[in-house]
Amino acid sequence: MTEPANDAITFAVIKSALDTIVDDMAYAVMRTARSPIVRDVLDYSVTICDRHGRILSQAKTVALHLGAVPDAMDVIMARFAGDLAPGDVIILNDPYDGGMHLPDIFMFKPVFFEGALAGFCVVIAHHCDVGGRVPGSNASDSTEIFQEGLRIAPMKLYERGVVNRTLVTIIERNVRLPDLVIGDLEAQYATCNIGERDLLRLFERHGRVSLEAYFDRLIDYGETLTRKAIAAWPDGTYTFTDYIDGDGFSPDPIPIRCVITVKGDHLHVDFAGSSPQVKGAINSTLSFVKSSTYLTVRCALDADVPNNAGVYRCITVTAPEGSILNPLMPAPVAARALTGYRVVDTVMGALAQIVPEKVMAAGEGGNTVVAIGGYDREKREPFVLVDMINGAWGGRHDADGIEGVTNPSQNMSNLPVETLEARYPIRMTEYAFRDDSGGAGEHRGGLGLVRTYELLAGDAILQLRADRTEHPPYGLFGGRPGAPSRNLLTTDGETRALPGKVTLEMRGGMTLRHEQAGGGGYGDPLRRPFAAILRDIADGKLTRQRAAADYALVFNPAGGIDESATATLRAARRA
């Protein structure tokens, strides 16, 4: 007898089973991947979709990837309608044909049960190199997609279990580190197989008809909870604009403008008024903009809302064609993650007007990418470091920003210094918190990080993708901006500042120092408790000079706070 789809216990068991499957898949990628960017930095994502291509469950991996899966699935479902069989595996990376940027290779494995399509296992991994003009394939200063590396249209890597040797050979011959790239593809493939095995066990236990009914209910449940939350928000139109410093060619600020319309239980998020597409490679596909928007709205929902396609039904996202958020071919997009982070910050700024206690001030601006590629001095073997520096959250309504942690949109990790130095001809001479970098507030922003790289090889190519040098992370409700970022290159004892987006040659002995922006503050700094300020001073996160300037403190000769003088100064400030 078919079990009804309204049994609460069975519903909870199936939901938990799907969550467990994707978590097991996520661990499988980490344990089998070859390259540090996947294995150690954790720049990958996994999800399971039903036979219609709808997301059922997402692992706690890079959230910025997963909202782009629906658009990629639309391409797969249309391209391979009637042409899928057990053992097939499809990959793609073309931003103009279902992908996001070329280093992110999507892999889809259709799952068949009793001879019929039952679902898909999906793994996305950021590969260390996919060819192109620079090592790492992630430069900000490419000017068209053709410079950025190997474009893979949706095609079968495996067909009925047989590997496509032609496609594998093309990949091997067009990347700088074929062993790592093919190794990571094999890790993706193994992970898809693990997901397939466990999903089939679920079908065998519950049967197709019953399980698919629960899938429908699970997606409806995600939609119901999301609509209930949005319906409690005040109807209206809310606008926010944030800026990218420039595209590496022009220093002109690049506006990202967001207008959120709340109407009943639905959100419309429109990016009209944002910059036209730019010359540099920070343009972002609309699918990635959708992903950035979905995850930001999801952050403002309760934790028990499942991360599935039901959430997306409640949100529409639009951006003008030909804009930086919906570029036309052949616009370059390699460094598009930076723009995705700014979309997150912009949507968060608009949401702060709707649900102020659910959001935070701007964080570090998204991770900074330091890519250094060249050849080892002795063996002349190629190396490509792609280091993604994750730093600081902004202050929240009830807590300070966290530091040394992933941006909320990522779930990534900083590459351990020991791993970096063991694998690359690079010495990390400094890895530290940046004092005084957190924006002042009742709840201060988190501190940015400092990382300094010394090149030990003879020469290399540096690609730097950073931001927030001219437009620091904003504060909310009286909180002040975080400190802006800085990039310093030292050659033969002389130091010069670098822009945030640059590609240049490095010689052995050169050092690059990146000082990451700090998070913005939340709330009036004059409301911050004395004890919290003194604790920050004791911890070395805040100097007395900044404490006096930002929090209007007056210190007595013994080093304590002169509360009477401080009260007088604060009253004058408020006046």
Phi and psi of 437, rounded to 5°?
-90, -20
Task: Read off the pLDDT of residues 417-440 as tens digits, 9 standing for 90 and up.
Answer: 999 999 999 999 999 999 999 999
Closest residue by Cα to residue 63 from 298, 342, 309: 298
Q: 484, 437 in Cβ contact below 8 A? A: no
Report the pLDDT value the prediction gives residue 562, as an integer from 0 to 100: 87
Cβ-based neighbours of 451, under 8 Å, separated by 6 or more? 370, 387, 389, 428, 430, 431, 513, 514
Strand ordering across the sheet containing 266-270? 236-244, 254-263, 266-270, 315-318
Which region holds residue 407: left if phi is over 0, alpha if psi is between -120 and 50, else beta? beta
Q: 556, 548 in Cβ contact below 8 A? A: no
CA distances (Å), origin 553, targets 525, 526, 529, 556 = 11, 9, 11, 10
Cβ-based neighbours of 328, under 8 Å, separated by 6 or more? 277, 321, 322
CA distances (Å), origin 454, targets 81, 139, 433, 448, 457 = 52, 20, 19, 20, 9
* Segments of the chain with pLDDT less than 50: 1-2
State the burial class of residue 529 (Cβ atoms within 10 Å of its Cβ: 0-12, 13-18, 19+): exposed
**Number of Cα atoms under 13 Å in the Cβ half of residue 358:** 19
Phi and psi of 535, rounded to 5°?
-65, -40
Q: Is residue 165 helix, strand or coil?
A: helix
Q: 119, 306 in Cβ contact below 8 A? A: no
Burial 183-203 (b: 16+ CB within 10 A, else e): bbbebbbbbbebbbebbbebb
d(CA 420, CA 404): 17
This prediction's pTM: 0.95
What secondary structure, in 3-state letters, does 278-307 show?
CCCCCCCCHHHHHHHHHHHHHHCCCCCCCC
* 390's tokens: 């994750």
Closest residue by Cα to residue 533 from 416, 436, 452, 451: 436
Beta strands in 141-300 (DSSP E): 155-159, 162-163, 236-244, 254-263, 266-270
Beta strands in 245-401 (DSSP E): 254-263, 266-270, 315-318, 368-375, 382-389
Report the pLDDT value the prediction gives residue 181, as an integer from 0 to 100: 98
Closest residue by Cα to residue 51 from 219, 172, 289, 274: 219
CA distances (Å), origin 322, targets 139, 372, 566 = 21, 32, 53
